[in-house]
Structures are given as structure tokens and as C-alpha cells.
Structure 1
Amino acid sequence: MTRQLALLGSAVCLALSAGAAGAVDLPTRKAGLWEMKMVRTGGPMPEMTMQHCTDETTDKDMNTSVGPAAKQACSKQDIQKTATGYVSDSVCGAAGVTVTSHSEIIGDFSSAYTVKTTSHVEGGSSGARDTSATIEAKWLGACKADQKPGDIIMPGGMKMNVKDMEKLKGLIPKLQK
């Protein structure tokens, strides 16, 4: 169950990052299959690599559907364009945990991009801690024949679709109990 929560949390985190970034009209990613490698330090999550099949509509839908949830959970969410990409600063909270984050996003969104995030976490069972995460994404080509836009293939082969995030919103409070 802990591993499932960690994987679910990663997927939600990725979606929230995409939703937050969409507020400043980041370019949509090139349609097709993206490999996303996430490396975290300062927390219990291991390195993981997942694949995400996307198209222009799915990227825009992710931004639209996640944006309101992020606005509700975040007291600060500033994103600015820079000479090399984008910078984001946010303060978000849920269930007694506050996360203050700084992210730098660089890349062209058609072949590769990188998101580097540093966070300070307050509250929860672990108390205060600092974490960092890097997401390295690269375009692999067309989605596979058995994939549809929105599919995320997690480590171990578990498949979920970001279009089902509305269903997951109701599941998260149940999993926290």
C-alpha cells in the first residue's frame, strides 16, 4: 500500500506541476510518448522512470483540470518566464503539511525538458525537511499501439490515465485515513 501511495503521489505531483505551469501558457509538449525520469533526495521515494503518452488536447486538459485544485491548495503560485525557460515559486498545503517550493524548467518541449525543484516541507509525521527533485523528460516517438493519450506507465508496468484524475481526487482522502 505504501508503494502504491508513493506512485500515486508521484503521478499527482507531476500533474500538479503541469497544471501550475499551464497558468503561464507553457508550450504544449510534442504529441507522442515521453519518458520521464524522477530523482528525489531528502525523502523516502526511490528514483523512478515512467512513460507518458500525450497529445495537445491531453496536455491542455491536464492544465485545465488540475489548475483549480492547485489554486485551492496553494496560497502562493508564481510562475515567470526567464531567458532559459521558466521559474516557479509556490507555497501549498494539505492535511497539516506545508510545502514551499522553487522550480526551474528548461527545455524545448518537443524533444526534452528538465524540471529541477527544491522544497521545504513542514508538518506531518516527518516534521521539517528539505527535499529536491529532478524530472528529466525526453520524447521517445509515437505512442505505442496499446496506448492512448493520457496513459502513464509507472514502474512495474502499472498503467493509469491522467484523464481519470477526477476519480483519483475522491480516492486520495480515503487513502489518507
Structure 2
Amino acid sequence: MRRYVSLLNISVLSATAMLWAVPAIADPIELPARKAGLWEMKMQGSAGMPGMTMQHCTDESTDKSMNTTFSPMAKDMCSKNEMKKTATGYVTDSVCNIGGTTSTSHAEITGDFNSAYTMKITSQNSGGAKANTGDSTTQLEAKWLGACKPDQKPGDIMMPGGMKMNVKDMEKMKGMHRPQ
């Protein structure tokens, strides 16, 4: 089970890096801004990895801020980050070193950024801790729910178990990141 949780964590990091960082460091192709409000994001992994549902309150400036926050980290961690526009959406390919594990990922993003989109990520992980190696598939399904709740502000992510964090706090992580 620990192996699956580690693979899910790497997939989550890869998905996050690809979704928000790739547009800022790749070709001039950018993902459209998501509609402001509350997004539900359901993530399901392969090989029995536990699923996870999060809610993210966002607005246009928060999405842009996430590009700024994750781009330097992704630039340091990823030797390859490419995004292409396709007839049905976007495709990204990346090779990143996350915590000593090399993750080679391919993501297909379809849908619109006003009501719903899906991201299917396939990753091959090698090196690092034995628990982090192997192949994985992760699917993220995002759906716009409406306005953020009164106690939420843009950037808030409500994690399973009631944990709440704000992506703007991740700005502090930039200074803590050291490439391997």
C-alpha cells in the first residue's frame, strides 16, 4: 500500500507541475484560464491506488500566480516540459526528478476550462526509493461547482479529511526547493 501512496504522490506532483507550470516554461502554448469559482477535482490512480477528491477555490489571478510559483521549481526539476495543442485539447510530455525519482509523464487534457476538463496522466518512475518506482496512470476529473463558499478565498484547496491549504502559501516552498 505504501508503494501505491508514493506513486500517487508522485503522480499528484507531476499533474500539478504539468497543469500549472508547463504553460509558463514551454512553447507559447498556454492552457486557458479556468473559470473563477469552486472546482471539484477527483483524482483516481491505477493499480489500486486510493482515489482523492479535492475542492479548489480559484480565480484568474490565482491561476496566474500558480504559474509563477511552480515554474521555477519545474524548471529546476524537469529536463523536459513540452505542451502541444491538439484537435481535442492539449498534450504534455515531461521528464522530472522529484525527490530522487525520475518521472517520465505524458498527459492528455480534454474538455473546457469553464465547466469541466479531464487530465489522464501516464507516468514511468525510476530511481529513488524502491516504493516510488514503476508505472502508473492517474486520471483527474475537474468540474466547476459554482461560486466559492463564503469561508473560502481564491487559492484555498480543501483536501480529504478537512485539511485546508492555500496555494499562495506554496510561494514559500520556492525558497526551500533544491534541485537534486
Is 1:53 the counterpart of 2:54? The answer is no
1:92-146: per-residue Cα shift (whole Å, max 9, x none)?
A: 0133210000000001100000000000000122264100100000000000000
Q: Which deviates more, 120-129 or 74-83? A: 120-129
Q: Are residues 1:143 and 2:148 paired?
A: yes
1:93 aligns with 2:94: no
Task: Give 3-state SS (helix, strand or coil) of 1:58's partner.
Answer: helix
Please say if 1:64 is aligned against 2:64: no
Distance in structure 1 (CA, Å) of the matches to 2:166 and 2:9: 11
Distance between the aligned counterparts of 1:147 and 1:112, measured in 2?
21
TM-score by length of 2: 0.84
Higher relative contact order (CA 8 A, sep 6+): 2
Q: For residues 57-107 of structure 1, what are the alpha-carbon distances to aligned partners after superposition, in whole Å with 9 as ceiling and x for unaligned? A: 001110122111101100011100000000001100133210000000001
The residue that corresponds to 1:103 in the other structure is: 107
Counterparts of residues 1-177 of structure 1 (less than 5 Å): 12-23=13-24, 24-42=29-47, 45-126=49-130, 128-169=133-174
Q: Structure 1, residues 29-69: CA drift from partner, whole Å, max 9, x if none? A: 000000000001147x4100000000000011101221111
Conserved 8 A contact 1:42-1:130: no
* C-alpha distance in structure 2 between counterparts of 1:25 and 1:12, whole Å: 19
- The answer to whether the 8 A contact 1:15-1:62 is kept is no
Q: Which amino acid counterpart does residue 47 of structure 1 have in structure 2? A: G
| Same amino acid, percent of matched pairs | 61
Give the 3-state SS of the residue equivalent to 1:90 in structure 2. strand
Matched-pair contact (CA < 8 Å) for 2:38–2:144: yes
Kept in 1: contact 2:11–2:138 (CA 8 A): no
Distance in 2 between the 1:13 and 1:133 partners?
10
2:172 corresponds to which letter in structure 1?
K
Paired residue secondary structure (2:41): strand
Deviating beyond 6 angstroms after TM superposition, the runs of 4 or more aligned structure 1 residues are 5-11
SS of equivalent to 1:80: strand
Q: Which runs of 5+ in 2 are unaligned?
A: none
